[in-house]
Structure 1
Amino acid sequence: MKIVKEEIEIDKHCSFRVFSPRLKNYFYWHYHPEIELVFVEATNGIRHVGKNISDFEDSDLVLIGSNVPHLNFDYGIATDYHQIVVQLRENFLETNIAPIPEFGPIMKLLEDSYLGLSFYGQTKEKVVEKLKQIYLRDNFFSLLDLMEILQILAVSTEFERLNKEDTRIRFFLHDKIRMGTVYHYIHENYDKNPDVNEIADQVHLSTSAFCRYFKKQTDITFTDFVNRYRINQAKTYLLQEGAISEVCYRVGYQSISYFNKLFKELVGETPSAFKRRYSTSARS
């Protein structure tokens, strides 16, 4: 479960590849030299890029720079989903973009992608429409579509930088914490009472050393990480028509008022409002 370097093979006649991986039951904490654009359409899921750990609803569109560690976006998704991934050949920037002055904005976009860039709004809508069309095109017209996608992203203001600092692989090579072990432990215990002492022992650190290191590696505390994981699971159960009180206990909370407060803090609305919004969407 330690971090893995993915070896990507791109057809020798192409400068990029487009595919739809399905790895939802597999923890894949990995990196690769290729820049990657990921679109995933799902009710909700976990986003972990560099140090940033967050979640998404409905869909996510993220540009991930070269050698930035990230978790597969479909990890743990319990509902139907669709995913499109575009991977640019390792020398794509140097050979296809840098020599052409008109591609200046795209060059800056790809250079900035080491922070992880999450796009939203009309930008996401336009790009997703074009991503879904790429499958229907031959290599030449797919390349034209890709360049248009990159230009849309390059001039957009509808994005969020996921990391505040460089999180490329050299910062993770000596990582004493195997994130796969942490995720696996929380997945097995989130509905009980995850014990920081137990997971610290599993990764061979003292509890205080584990807490300091985990905060340094993810910018959040272990307790925050557990709460986010629990609330992400709660959203899935709520969408499966679970009663709020039942879901509260199912994900490990003993106080409904605390669950409601934490859910609103992390999601931006109460569990009842969340259920109502998705029930309305399903009927319309």
Structure 2
Amino acid sequence: MLPHEAKIELLAASQYGLKTTTFEKECVDFHWHFHPEVELVWIESGEGLLHAGRALVPYQAGQLVLVGANLPHAYGSAPSQRKGAKWTTLHFRPSVWGNEFWRLPENNRIFDLLERAGCGYLYSNKTAAQAAEFLVHIQTPKPGDMPLARLLNLLDLLARDESGRKLNPQSVSGGKVELQDTRLQLGLRKLEQTSHEPGLTQAEAAQWIKMSPPAFCRYFKRLTGRKFQHHLNELRISRACASLLGTEKSITEIAYDSGFNNLSNFNRRFKEFTQHTPRSYRQTQGGLISSKT
């Protein structure tokens, strides 16, 4: 079970312009932490669940993860998934380079990417493969290579890509959400507080910020990058995951406590978000096994 508060981690990258390291282990290391460095992780092999801020998504070989400064994150793998993992991490601290540098006109796209990175992004396919090539050259530079220049090219590649999956609606820093739009701040806060209520609808959420349902639908999608129902289900499944690992409640109890009004829908959504059934998730992730049905 993830602790409520992530721990800050001091990285060697703070002493360098950037630091790249490759690991090969049974599975990707699991610890709930954050750091002031921006992080890129190329998953060459391995699979499991990625926790980033409030998001809980499956990860697998061939993906690239962008974690912004101070975004809490952890990688978990069930025992059945611990068949060997290889991953490369790149860390750098933008503040070391100076704000004036990032605000140069030539760096507009990259500056915007670094601002958005607090949400966390997941990249796949072509972009991830191209990024992996950059990471190889950065880690093992040839004579005449400039790793810092390659980093800028890599960041520009990601800044141009529009297919990256945003993991959180807004930036998350050290376990606290940083929001700029006050109406969205109100809406997301109330959504977290009431997501366990099975009767909650998009129309009701629209009333919180005095918008019509159609206008709210467009507004929410534009600012968060996801549909309202998807975000609501994600909150509910995250709540269910915590209960499965940290309590002895039955799966049926957890389903209703999390906001689902029937067990079949809960099982379907849980498998969609985690690639596990609730029972297998509890058993493989080391949860407390309930004696209840």
Matches within 5 A, 1:135-154: 135-137=139-141, 141-154=146-159
Change beyond 3 A, Cα 1:108–1:66: same
| Whole-angstrom distance in 2 between the partners of 1:24 and 1:45 | 9
User: Which letter does structure 2 place at the counterpart of 1:166?
Assistant: S
CA deviations on 1:48-93 (whole Å, 9 max, x unpaired) are 1111101023322111111111003668641222101111125146
The more displaced of 46-55 and 127-136 is 127-136
Q: How much does 1:148 deviate? A: 0.8
Change beyond 3 A, Cα 1:120–1:28: same
User: Which letter does structure 1 place at the counterpart of 2:139?
Assistant: Y
* Equivalent residue for 2:11, pick from 8, 11, 35: 8
The question of 1:80 aligning with 2:74 is answered no
Q: How much does 1:170 deviate? A: 4.5
Secondary structure of the 1:143 match is helix
User: Sequence identity, in percent?
Assistant: 21
TM-score, normalisation: structure 1: 0.59
Change beyond 3 A, Cα 1:100–1:106: same
Q: Equivalent residue for 1:65?
A: 68
The question of 1:49 aligning with 2:52 is answered yes
Q: Equivalent residue for 1:122?
A: 126
Change beyond 3 A, Cα 1:59–1:166: same
- Consecutive unaligned residues of structure 1, counting only runs of 5 or more, are 173-178, 187-193, 200-206, 216-220, 235-251, 253-284
User: Which letter does structure 2 place at the counterpart of 1:44?
Assistant: E
- Consecutive unaligned residues of structure 2, counting only runs of 5 or more, are 178-237, 261-265, 281-288
Change beyond 3 A, Cα 1:10–1:23: farther
Q: How much does 1:226 deviate? A: 8.0
Q: Is the 8 A contact 1:66 1:114 kept in 2?
A: yes
Q: How much does 1:34 deviate? A: 1.1
Q: How much does 1:44 deviate? A: 2.6
The question of 1:111 aligning with 2:115 is answered yes
* Equivalent residue for 2:166, pick from 147, 161, 169: 161
* Equivalent residue for 2:276, pick from 203, 213, 230: 230
Q: Is the 8 A contact 1:211 1:222 kept in 2?
A: no
Change beyond 3 A, Cα 1:18–1:69: same
| Whole-angstrom distance in 2 between the partners of 1:93 and 1:233 | 48
Q: Is the 8 A contact 1:40 1:74 kept in 2?
A: no
| Whole-angstrom distance in 1 between the partners of 2:115 and 2:17 | 18
Q: Is the 8 A contact 1:24 1:75 kept in 2?
A: no
Q: Equivalent residue for 1:31?
A: 34
TM-score, normalisation: structure 2: 0.57
Count of aligned positions: 207
Q: Equivalent residue for 1:171?
A: 176
Q: Is the 8 A contact 2:103 2:111 kept in 1?
A: no
Q: How much does 1:185 deviate? A: 6.8
Q: How much does 1:105 deviate? A: 0.4
Change beyond 3 A, Cα 1:211–1:63: same
| Whole-angstrom distance in 2 between the partners of 1:183 and 1:79 | 25
